[in-house]
Amino acid sequence: MTAAELRRRTRDLLAAHPVATTGHTAFLGARFDAGLAWVHYPEGLGGLGAPRSLQAVVDAELAAAGAPDNDPRRIGIGLGMAAPTVLAFGTDEQKRRLLRPLWIGEEVWCQLFSEPGAGSDLAALSTRAVRDGDDWIVDGQKVWTSSAHTARWGILIARTDPEVPKHRGITYFVCDMTAPGVEVRPLRQITGEAEFNEVFLTGVRIPDTRRIGGVGDGWRVAQTTLMNERVAIGGMRVPREGGMIAPVARAWRERPDLRTHDLHQRLLTLWVEAEAARLTGERLRQQLAAGEPGPEGSGMKLGFARLNQEISGLEVELLGEEGLLYDDWTMRRPDLVDFTGREAGYRYLRAKGNSIEGGTSEVLLNIVAERVLGLPQEPRTDKDVAWKDLAR
């Protein structure tokens, strides 16, 4: 598959489904069926088995034609976390059923991983799944679940065997968020919003056909989700001077009355770091053409969190009293995760969560130290202890 062939296929799609007269969902469905959704996926699953790097060719052609996108911020968990996991470990039937509505945006996904007692130590989770014939009965609580209030499906890990060490007794499921026994409650954030939730699972019945991977193999499956999550958060594609640095640079150019020498030096430093991070993200995405993301994504997510917090802090300082203004403290229930939207005060507060979500910075530092730099692991006294015998 060449770039020229992909351009031809894209133009054929546009000719058969004119943007001006084709509905939004219908166009996205036609794009998926033509293999132009994510070109590196297999044929019949939204792709053509082409190199991942050629996706940019398709995207450029469609953008030039004014074609609609699938609102990736609204369905980012599905695109960045669920889809790669289903592709890697799902059955053929699961891939056919789940991937098309996920990519089109007809079905929103959420992530049911963290728990009140198992956040940084995710493998210590206590949500139980007990086999009952062809089903599993799930009981437990999840927390920090972004978009659970709008989601149709949730990627869920639960303990299916408490008799073995914590990493070995976990199984991975797809949970119907509309099923009886699923209760979603909002969690108010420092921004005043409630984009994430706590989820209570009480006797939730999940068919075994919605299990992803083998029984007890959930930790290995979850690693695919987690590695892709960190790339999705920390390696988002942005244009030059895009993302969090954009409003600060714009304010600097448009408001000379705000400038000081000290702030100028700090802005220059952060601008260069943001550009270096952007280029590193581009390189990481090119490397992904050869396979699934590795621990390098943790480094990208680390840098993303630190930069966002430093840049948003500089913006508030630059704007002075204006930077403290906040237009709405009403608890809203947004249907997307927004890292950079609204005014400076929002960005400053929202960035505080960047070093927690998708893996805390402390955990990611350990991953980079051990798996990228090859440093010795910290001692883990519970590695071979059955989960049921762990102190809690």
Catalytically active residues, by annotation: 229
What is the C-alpha separation between 98 and 88, in angstroms, rounded? 13
Residue owning tokens 């053929």? 92
Contacts of residue 294, defined as CB under 8 A and 6 or more positions apart, other chains included, come to: 227, 371
Residue type present at position 193: E
Cβ contacts of 217-222, under 8 Å, gap ≥ 24 = 217/171, 217/172, 218/157, 218/158, 218/160, 218/170, 218/171, 218/172, 219/123, 219/157, 219/167, 219/168, 219/170, 221/85, 221/88, 221/89, 221/157, 221/172, 222/113, 222/122, 222/157, 222/170, 222/172
Sign of the CA dihedral 276, 281, 286, 292? positive
330-359: burial string, b at 16+ Cβ within 10 Å, e else = eeeebbbbebbeebbbbbbbbbebbbebbb
Q: Would you say 79 and 232 are in contact if contact means Cβ atoms under 8 Å apart?
A: yes
DSSP string, 213-279: S-TTBHHHHHHHHHHHHHHHHHT----TT-TTHHHHHHHHHH-GGG--HHHHHHHHHHHHHHHHHHH
Pairing of strands 196-207, 182-187: antiparallel
Residue owning tokens 């799930």? 138
Residue type present at position 316: V
Residue 249: other Cβ atoms inside 10 A? 16
Q: Would you say 141 and 166 are in contact if contact means Cβ atoms under 8 Å apart?
A: no
Of 39, 71, 41, residue with least CA distance to 53? 39
Radius of gyration of the chain (CA): 22
